[in-house]
Structure 1
Amino acid sequence: MIQRIQTVYLLIVVLVAGVLPFWVNLWSDAEGNEIFASHEIFISLTFYISSLLALIAIVMFKNRKNQFVMNRLNMILNLFLLGFFVYRSLNLSGEISVSEKGIGMLIPIISIVFLVLANRAIKKDEDLVKSVDRLR
């Protein structure tokens, strides 16, 4: 249901994880070549899986508990991707020539923030449904 705020948050995650990594560079190597997500298959697949998990969570709007769990799995995947980026950036900084980290390395953080906001909204909906069930 598009009128729920968690759906909007999840749509933002779909757009951020599915589209943005292929337009914004992740890092630049010592020669000045910009590395995008499409240049590395592992990173590309991880971003696509994250986007797909968010899209599946949108479709699962009738089952809020499974939607909540799906968002948690997506957060774990984004944390894994963020850890990979941190590891990669620590390796990049040890080069003789200076390489630059791109703004694309922040994409998992943005996704995690919106997934947390979506989980808060899902929790509010679940609490509201439980409170209405108590009144019956």
Structure 2
Amino acid sequence: MIQRIQTVYLIVVALLSGVLPFFVNLWSDAKGQEIYASNEILVSILFYIIGALALWTIFLFKKRKNQFVLNRLNMILNLFLLGLFVYRSLNLSGETTVSEKGIGMLIPVFSIVFLTLANRAIKKDEDLVKSVDRLR
């Protein structure tokens, strides 16, 4: 059933992680040059993996338990990416000239929120199926 609410949440995560970081700056360096995800290879690969995993999870609608586990894995990847951003921002703040953190550094936070909402909806569907099986 692709027309479920968790599909919408997972599509939002795929768009947030697969498209948005390449158009929104992550941070600006000391020279004022904006850094995007395409400038950093590790960040770019992590964003692509997160987006692809979210898309792959959509098509596992018959295996709700696997969907739940893959969403948890996706949350862990987002936390790793967020930790990488925090590490990078702490290094940026120690410069002699002022550098700016971009709005793109919040993308993993929004992705985690939408993945949590998707997991709630998956759990709700799983509970519904279990309750119907008990009636048989």
Deviation at 1:94, TM superposition (A): 0.3
Normalised to the residue count of structure 1, the TM-score between the two structures is 0.99
1:27 aligns with 27
| Counterpart secondary structure, 2:96 | coil
Q: Tell me the distance in 2 between the aligned counterparts of 1:90 and 1:2.
A: 41
Where structure 2 has 5 or more consecutive residues not aligned to the other structure, the ranges are none
CA–CA distance in structure 2, aligned partners of residues 68 and 47 of structure 1:
20
Q: Distance in 1 between matches of 2:16 and 2:87?
A: 22
Structure 2 counterpart of 1:130, one-letter code: K
Q: What is the alpha-carbon distance in structure 1 between the residues aligned to residue 5 and residue 36 of structure 2? A: 31
TM-score normalised over the length of structure 2: 0.99
Q: What is the number of equivalent residue pairs in this alignment?
A: 136
Q: Give the whole-Å Cα distance in 2 for the aligned partners of 1:19 and 1:2.
A: 22
- Once the two structures are TM-superposed, the CA of residue 3 in structure 1 deviates from its matched residue by 1.5
CA deviation map 1:26-80 (0-9, x unaligned):
0000000000000011000000000011011001010000000000000000000
User: What is the aligned partner in structure 1 of residue 74 from structure 2?
Assistant: 74
Distance 1:3 1:70 in 2: 19
The corresponding residue for 2:65 is 65
Asked if structure 2 preserves the Cα contact closer than 8 Å seen for 1:22 and 1:37, the reply is yes
**2:105 counterpart of 1:105:** yes
Aligned to 1:91: 91
Runs of 4+ in structure 1 over 4 Å off: none
Residues of 2 paired with 1:42 and 1:17: CA distance? 14
Residues 17 and 48 in structure 2, CA contact (< 8 A), matched pair in contact too: yes
Which amino acid is 2:42 matched to?
Answer: F
Equivalent-residue separation in structure 2 for 1:62 and 1:39 (angstroms): 38
Matched, 1:44 2:40: no
Letter in structure 2 aligned against 1:100: E
Please tell me the residue identity of whatever aligns with 2:35.
I
Task: Provide the secondary structure at the position in 1 that maps to 2:98.
Answer: coil
- In structure 2, the residue corresponding to 1:101 is in which secondary structure? coil
Q: Distance in 1 between matches of 2:2 and 2:97?
A: 49
